Amino acid sequence: ATTNGNSCTGTAHTNSCGVSGSTSGTLNCSGACITPDAPATTNGNSCTGTAHTNSCGMSGGTSGTYDCSGSCITPDAPSESLCSTPAYWPGYGACLNGSKSGTCTEQTGGDAVTCASLGFVAGVNTTTTGCPTASLSVNPSSVAYNGRPTLTWNSMNATSCTTSVNWSTSGNLSGSGLTDALKANATFTLQCFKNGGSSSTKSVSVTVGKLDGVCALTHSNCTDGVSANPVDGATTWTWKCNGDNGGTNASCTENKPSGSLSGSDCTISPGASSCLTSLNVSISNPTVGAATNVTKAGNVEVVSNATINNTFPKTVNNISVSYPSTTFFLNHNAGTLGSTTVNASCEPGISWDVPSGACAKVPTLGSPIDADVTALGVTLGATITDLGTPSTLIEKGVCYGTMPNPSLLNGATCTLNGDLVAGAYTVKVVGLLSPETYYYYRGYATNGAGTGYSADGNFTTLVRPPSAKVLKFESDATNGRIDFGKSIKLKWQSTNSLYGCSITSDGIPPINMSNLSSTNLTGLNFKPSKTTIYTLTCDGEGGKDSHSSESLKIQVGKMNPQFNEF
């Protein structure tokens, strides 16, 4: 048979073969691959010999056909146009997309490609300058979750640049700055522009670590991750902290706080309206960082968070309790964990005085004083420093006797002072004491709550003074006799009669004259109507026990009959 129009001898190869330029042909008799017949003309030229009719690819994405000798020939070159980049080129391209004119125009700068590198024969090599360039780097290229790497960028021959959405050049054509916090792997891009031309797009990638969920110490909160599914149980809180970027989720549990509050009952002092107690504060499973305090009615704080200072158990002293009781509340993390009621009462036997709003209180006295001590008399006193509760006095005075703590109830002698006010006061005791005797005394004052006393004072009376003595008691009647209707004159003389003398008689009318002078030698006139006994008594400083008496009898004669003449 024939192959390609030639006769073959020997073994003929009938299979097809591939030739350079993606053309196809068959093997000849000698086994050589022969091409199909070439067209009459290629690129407007007549071809002799073997011609290649298939198209060929040119560098830079242009196209052409093989000439008769098998070389790839180009079409007419484009003229100058804007810089453009073929999609598959990493850098800047030459001007390839204009109209055909036979002139290839080169640009300089950046990654501009020459006409010669594209296989073109430049016509008139005109040049334009300044294709934009850009560079971009990142440090570090691997960060933890929420990390912020630093981007560094630069540009040349550019008037503006565009970036990816998660960072910004802030209008600067070069610089360095942190990205936003990254929660996932990210790629950052930069492309710069000038006069319609552009740089190639630069990009860097950052690997971001995972975020594992981590429970916080307080319920429904997370140290890391996002809180979800909170459940408020009877004794615990439960929730989840979900991770991100491939991290694990955490299941969280917090025991609910529980607490107790207690205090001891207290006794109010007389005259006061409150007493002091100690409160015992205890909390189990306290919420970390949460405030704790103790309040009473009206949300009035009585123990502050600073005082408790998250120390449990805690005893807080000197807490005031009002009559008859006060209820306290233990608060933690804006919730009430417990309460207690503490009673406040008056001392046994002491009542609550409603008008004054305090426990009743007897008056308070001090400063017992004694002065002007004699054998039989003295001036005693005290000072009322507090009228007590209620503050109206019923009486006040001084009690005295020979036993300690003389009072209104133990048989002591008590003398009143009528001035019912506070302050110092005195009473005078005259002729009621015994000479050379040791006495105790106390001031006292009584109000609606009872009687209050001062401390004991004491004194000793002086030695008894000489007793009074009647030296003379006589009349001017002869032998003690007078006639009826006559008068007598009584004279007397005494000594040591400090308190004077008195005269009494059993006559008609009876005589009882006191405060007479201790001596009267001129005499006093009396006219007895019958036989009468006159008694003179003179008192000395010793009172009743130091007086002296003398009696004098005057006999009165009978009345003579009287006759009238007519």
Query: Are 266 and 243 in the same domain?
Result: no
Say what the pLDDT of residue 76 is: 37
Do the Cβ atoms of 414 and 443 come closer than 8 Å? no
What confidence tens digit (pLDDT) does each residue in 252-276 have? 999 999 999 999 999 999 999 999 9
Kindly report, residue by residue over 468-490, the tens digit of the pLDDT: 999 999 999 999 999 999 999 99
Domain finish residue from 73, 88, 114: 73
Is residue 405 assigned to a domain? yes
* Cβ atoms within 10 Å, residue 239: 21
Phi, psi (rounded to 5 degrees) for 101: -145, -5
Q: What is the pLDDT of residue 460?
A: 97
Band of the pLDDT at 56, cuts 50, 70, 90? Answer: very low
192 and 230 co-located in one domain:
no
Inter-residue contact 488 to 476 (CB < 8 Å):
yes
**Would you place residue 84 in the very low, low, confident or very high pLDDT band (cuts 50, 70, 90)?**
very low
* Confidence check: pLDDT of 110 > 60: no
Of 300, 302, 344, residue with least CA distance to 326 = 344
pLDDT of residue 54: 43
Please indicate, yes or no, whether the overall pTM of this predicted structure exceeds 0.85.
no
pLDDT interval class at 429 (50, 70, 90): very high
What is the Cα 285 distance to its own chain's centre? 21
> Are 436 and 522 within one domain?
no
Residue 229 lies inside a defined structural domain of this protein:
yes
Looking at the predicted structure, is the pLDDT value of residue 406 above 90? yes
Residue-level pLDDT at 499: 82
Average pLDDT of the residues in 389-402: 96
Instruction: Give yes or no: residues 375 and 456 share one domain.
Output: yes
Say whether 45 sits in a helix, a strand or coil: strand
Higher pLDDT, residue 234 or 414: 414
Question: What pLDDT is attached to residue 428?
Answer: 95
The count of residues in the chain is 566
Both 478 and 523 in one domain: the answer is yes
Q: Are residues 227 and 161 in the same domain?
A: no
Confidence check: pLDDT of 402 > 70: yes
Backbone angles phi, psi at 62, to 5 degrees: -80, 170
First to last CA, the chain: 238
Amino acid type, 503: I
| Cα distance between residue 320 and residue 278, in whole Å | 9
Model confidence at 241, in pLDDT bands (50, 70, 90)?
very high
Residue whose entry in the numeric block shows the structure tokens 């491939």: 246
Number of independent structural domains in the chain: 6
pLDDT at 423 over 60: yes
Same domain, 228 and 264: no
Range of lowest pLDDT (136-150, 370-384, 499-513): 499-513
Given this model, what pLDDT does residue 26 score? 52
- Residue where a domain terminates, one of 460, 490, 521: 460
Whether residue 498 sits in one domain with residue 479: yes
pLDDT score at 34: 52
The range of the structural domain enclosing residue 547 comes to 469-556
Q: Is 531 a member of any domain? A: yes
- Picking from 110, 184, 174, 87, the residue whose alpha carbon sits closest to that of residue 137 is 174
Q: What is the CATH number of the domain that holds 289?
A: 2.60.40
Per-residue pLDDT band for 514 (boundaries 50, 70, 90) equals confident
Please check whether residues 416 and 480 belong to one and the same domain: no
Amino acid residing at 411: G
User: What pLDDT shows up at residue 63?
Assistant: 45
Asked whether 336 and 328 are in contact (CB, 8 A), the reply is no
Instruction: Give the residue from 193, 201, 194 showing the smallest Cα distance to 87.
Output: 201
Helix (H, G, I), strand (E, B) or coil at 118: helix
CA distance 371 to 429: 11
Distance between CA 155 and CA 115 in Å, rounded? 25
So what's the pLDDT on residue 234?
Answer: 87
Q: Give a yes or no: residue 101 inside a domain.
A: no
* 43 or 534: which leads in pLDDT: 534
When comparing pLDDT for 65 and 435, which is higher?
Answer: 435
More confident residue, 498 or 417: 417
Are both 525 and 484 inside the same structural domain?
Answer: yes
Percent of the chain with pLDDT over 90: 56
Same domain, 476 and 510: yes
Q: Provide the mean pLDDT of the chain.
A: 80
Distance, in Å, from the CA atom of 78 to the CA atom of 163, rounded to the nearest integer, reads 33
The enclosing domain of 528 has a CATH number of 2.60.40.10
Return the beta strands (E) in 481-557 as ranges.
481-482, 488-495, 501-505, 512-516, 520-526, 532-540, 543-556
Q: Which amino acid would we find at residue 244?
A: D
Report phi then psi at 234, rounded to 5.
-65, -40
Ranking 77-81, 123-127, 229-233, 369-373 by mean pLDDT, the lowest is 77-81
Q: How many of the other CB atoms lie within 10 Å of CB of 212? A: 18
Higher pLDDT residue, 550 or 25?
A: 550
Least confident among 47-51, 129-133, 228-232: 47-51
- Cα separation, 47 vs 33, in Å, equals 20
In a domain, 561, yes or no: no
On the question of pLDDT at 70 being above 90, the answer is no
Residue that is last in its domain, among 411, 442, 460 = 460
pLDDT band at 133 (very low <50, low <70, confident <90, very high): confident
Peptide linkage before 140 cis (omega within 30 of 0): yes
pLDDT grade for 75, boundaries at 50, 70 and 90: very low
Q: What is the mean pLDDT of residues 128-147?
A: 85
Q: Which residue has the higher pLDDT, 27 or 190?
A: 190
pLDDT tens track for 531-562:
999 999 998 876 656 788 999 999 999 876 65
Lowest mean pLDDT among 21-25, 37-41, 361-365: 37-41
Nearest to 524 by CA among 534, 509, 538, 533: 534
| Segment holding 306, helix H or strand E | helix 305-308
CB-based burial, 175-204: b 16+ in 10 Å, e otherwise: eeeebeebeeebebebbbbbeebbbbebeb
More confidently predicted of 488 and 93: 488
- 541 part of a folded domain: yes
Residue 78: inside a domain: no
244 lies in a domain? yes
